[in-house]
Chains A and B, each alone.
Chain A
């Protein structure tokens, strides 16, 4: 089943927070990489949430969406939010090479976000490899994959599976423990960044690949987003300064597991913020309801990105 039928993309709080973080990072990069001139490439599905943000927040005016499902393709064309969005029918493995051959696209930087709804496999590795090798200079490349164990077969076979996919960057002593439960997210994230760095170094890309995004999140199913910048040599120092500054929040240590809060709950906690001190469980109880310490901590960290959803009946 295509995932647009399974999930309404817009109503997942952790994913929304993740998307907000990424776009705030892209805004910071924009002045260095001239991203308002960039081409945005992604899997817009029928919702085009990220495409809308790329236009409204970054000022991007050229967009290419890839859709491999036949019905999805027709619906995607119908749901295009702007006239400048082109929808390409086909698997990313065949559409991306076509985009890379289009001279009208490759003379500008790209923002590519491949938001897969499945786990790491050969097709993901092929897309990422090709893009790290050949995307235009000053591009930003991100991909999102599932880190759910059931996408990766039996735990004891996972180290070999991951080794077959990412190749020589995978340490020989990668343990089964590192490939299961919560640690699978961290392992896929770290090796994904190592893989992209290695491909850029092997291809001797001027400016290389600067790892810049590492975000694990979970709305039900655990996901991982990793990515980085394929800057020109001239912009490399500025990019490295930005990524290593405290201002950069694309490398998130703990997974984002946002609680599902009602509008009333989130508004009440928000009334205590911002605060230099951690909000305690007792304070929340004082508001008249209860949440776990972890839920409170995550809400406090990401309240500015936390979404509110409402059902509208016409």
Chain B
């Protein structure tokens, strides 16, 4: 009898690996992973430090340029570049090596983002890096990856080739991808995808963009989201901060929440339903938004407090974590949600509840006021209208949300609900006639009722 083998084969195949790691991430998040690397580079070059809201860091020297169309994708930055040692030892290994020194206050943590992103994008990949050598002159190398060729080699190490390259003018990384996968080509050729990508970049890197970073998408600068809260004597956003710790390492936590816009007066489903709204909780890890406009049980809606309802629109809250080591942050590998098991996150969550519940209670009272007749409605409009937008950076510390305290004993006349259907074209034409073609159906109904009422039933 032949000798029995004493091992069974376990090693993954390359093809399995590539398929698996690219399956669970969206194209959009893959592109953000590449931007994260550039941002981390800029952050490192600038001298790393916490990325909370108060820090006044100037990233005006850094430019990230993305070109995306149905044939190719590229991202080029001047954010310092990847050193030869980094490339050879760390940057291309799948998963972060234990001996890799953690980048200070970076967003990259798992050592998977760049590889996963380029595999998701296409099959002909080039990663080019320019850094200063010890004499200060520019030095460059390139890692070309032909995915099909690489997958075709079944034995031996998984290494990629590294070749000499012509240095670029500035230190930085350029990644180009050709032979796009069909789904990538389809998405990058879709004008709606590009617009949406621009919106997501503007939102998720708003802290960096507000600090001067330039991100160009197909030649057009992406504008950072200007986060503001309405403020007056009657309205003040809450702002609190504290320091938590993970095994003795500090994690700073900052929470801000308040009214970004006045809540809607009506919330019947109508033609505006297609629009995305910016309301809900945002979770930010080392400067990067990982969860945006959350209305789910992750931040607590429908779990710790009431389920989200359109009545609560107008509220925005930020939960901001900063830590020296990104592994102490509640990040998932796709950076598109939070790790709900994380201790720092679970300890922060009840504090979101206090703020959310004050808002819920305000919108409830407001609804009662709205039903109590026109005088009360005018009162709300006046109070809310007096609140002016204040930049998130200027919000003063305040343990709780300040909101108008409407009386609890409001009782109004019984109200009639009137509903009818008309052709859309006529509704729009009437909206134009009333002076605003963007009126909601509800507003068109109310205003035309008022118009007819004044004419036919009003006092002379």
Contacts and interface: CB of A to CB of B under 8 A. Distances in A.
Interface in A196-212: 197-198, 201-202, 204, 208
A197 B186 CA distance: 10
Interface in A172-209: 172-173, 194, 197-198, 201-202, 204, 208
Interface stretch (A20-28, A131-139, A157-165): A157-165
B148 interface: no
A172 B199 contact: yes
Contacts of B249: none
Contact of B190 (A121, A172, A173, A198): A198
B274 interface: yes
B195 interface: yes
Contacts of B271: 122, 164
A170 B192 CA distance: 8
B186 A167 contact: no
Contact of A168 (B189, B192, B424, B437): B192
B191 A198 contact: yes
Given A169-B195, A172-B199, A197 B437 contact: no
Interface in B266-296: 271-272, 274-276
Interface string A147-165: 0000011100100110110
A123 interface: yes
Interface in B420-448: 424-425, 428, 431-432, 435-438
A23 B302 CA distance: 58
Contact of B424 (A123, A173, A208): A123
A154 B432 CA distance: 8
Nearest to A163: B275
A21 B195 CA distance: 32
Interface SS of A by simple majority: helix
A204 B189 CA distance: 12
B358 interface: no
A147 to B, nearest CB: 15
Secondary structure at chain B's binding surface: helix, strand, loop or mixed? helix
B187 interface: yes
B195 A201 contact: no
A169 B428 CA distance: 22
A161 B186 contact: no
Contacts of B193: 198, 201
A164 B272 contact: yes
A171 interface: yes
Given A153-B436, A157-B436, A160-B438, A201 B425 contact: no
Contacts of A122: 271, 424-425, 428
Contact of A157 (B198, B424, B437): B437
A201 B424 contact: no
A168 B200 CA distance: 12
A164 B195 contact: no
A236 B275 CA distance: 33
Contact of A154 (B195, B198, B425, B435): B435
Contact of B425 (A123, A160, A161, A198): A123
Contacts of A161: 437-438
A201 B187 contact: yes
A202 B190 CA distance: 8
A292 B125 CA distance: 56
A30 to B, nearest CB: 26
12 contacts: A121-B428, A152-B437, A153-B437, A154-B435, A161-B437, A164-B272, A169-B191, A169-B195, A198-B191, A201-B190, A201-B193, A202-B190
Given A121-B424, A121-B428, A164-B438, 5 more contacts: A172-B199, A194-B192, A198-B190, A198-B192, A204-B186
Interface of A: 118, 121-123, 152-154, 157, 160-161, 163-164, 167-173, 194, 197-198, 201-202, 204, 208
